[in-house]
Amino acid sequence: MLTSEILRRVREIQVRTGRQVADVLAGEYVSVFKGRGMEFDEVRPYVPGDDVRSIDWNVTARTGEPYIKRYVEERQLTIMLMADVSASQDFGSTTRSKREATAELCALLAFSATRNDDKVGLALFHGDIEQYIPPRKGQKHALRVVREVLAHEEEQAAASQSEVGWLKRLGFVWKQATARQHRPRSPREATDLGFALEFLMRVTKRRTICFVVSDFLDDNYEHAMVAANTKHDVIAVLVTDPVELDVPDAGLVALRDAETGEARVVDTGSRAFREEAHTRAATRVEELATRFASLGIDFIHVDAAGDVVDPLVRFFRMRGRRGRR
């Protein structure tokens, strides 16, 4: 994507999401995230008149003098956006790819944070960490976050070929006796959610509200999600394309897995094939929602071809209702 095209898309997203943040998301964001608790600041000597319930008995016992814990209200928040930019995210059956939907979602969150004087950071990941932008405040910084998500596109990606990592994950496994099947994969041709979350734990000292935006075509990442959620507020955002859930009748179609290079010709004209693909895809989404709920991690499902505002609003309102109980 050329620089001029990236700038045009950033401006387009800024204008569109700016209205949505002002009209829809601003109040929802504040009601859910602002003033969520108290953050430890320091330990200082006890002064007559201090609340005895604030005494730090461990420090008092070590020093022989009374000390109290001081807290500050947790007003300014840090929003961390973990955006999956692996090859499968380039897939799009309509006018917008999963990566572009991810960029727009990140824009909404970044501009909401900026509007409320919060910090926002970004980590682009695939099989490795592609880029890390430390959390900062300001409109220019939010625009940079959006630009970096949009700009990440491998020049040699074969846009004309269909990408079907999702078919393999749904159980449509096939054998292909080609040398390409055994070639080493580049980091971008893989997804390593566990590594990305371990990176987050290393680089962030303060608590963040972390949105992990991905198609979650990976395995064995739950432990890392739980570990990150003990320190941060982790929210899983699944981005899917409509064709991943409902395969159209297009006859014989040559498909390629964007993350392994494996290829296969499938008969989408087969009603049995389409029904099985739909069942497995829908089951996968339901299982992800159930799995994250059991782990205590909030879950948002975004359709790359649809509106990204409505899923966020539903999430904010759900969190708001839960917080009032």
pLDDT at 263 over 60: yes
The pLDDT assigned to 182 comes to 43
pLDDT at 113 over 70: yes
pLDDT at 275 over 70: yes
The pLDDT assigned to 18 comes to 62
Q: In the chain, pLDDT over 90 holds for what percent of residues?
A: 27
- Lowest-confidence segment of 5-19, 56-70, 209-223, 258-272 by average pLDDT: 5-19
- Lowest-confidence segment of 69-73, 206-210, 254-258 by average pLDDT: 69-73
pLDDT (tens digit per residue) in 132-156: 999 998 888 888 888 887 776 544 3
In degrees rounded to 5, what are phi and psi of residue 65? -125, 145
Confidence bin at 247 (pLDDT 50/70/90): confident
Q: Average pLDDT for residues 203-226, to the nearest whole number? A: 91
Question: 2 with 287: CB under 8 angstroms?
Answer: no
The pLDDT assigned to 166 comes to 45
Indicate the residue type of 112: S
Q: Give the single-character DSSP code of 80.
A: E
Sign (positive or negative) of CA dihedral 325, 222, 198, 125: negative
Task: Name 77's bridge partners.
Answer: none
pLDDT at 212 over 90: yes
Name the 3-class secondary structure at 239. Answer: strand
- CATH numbers and ranges of domains, the chain: 3-37+75-324 (3.40.50.410), 41-72 (no CATH)
Q: How far apart are CA 5 and CA 176, in angstroms?
A: 38
Considering only CA atoms, give the Rg of the chain.
23
The model's pTM: 0.74
Q: What's the mean per-residue pLDDT of the chain?
A: 78
Task: Give the residue, 275 or 5, on which the prediction is more confident.
Answer: 275
Task: Give the residue, 72 or 47, on which the prediction is more confident.
Answer: 47
Q: In the chain, pLDDT over 70 holds for what percent of residues?
A: 72
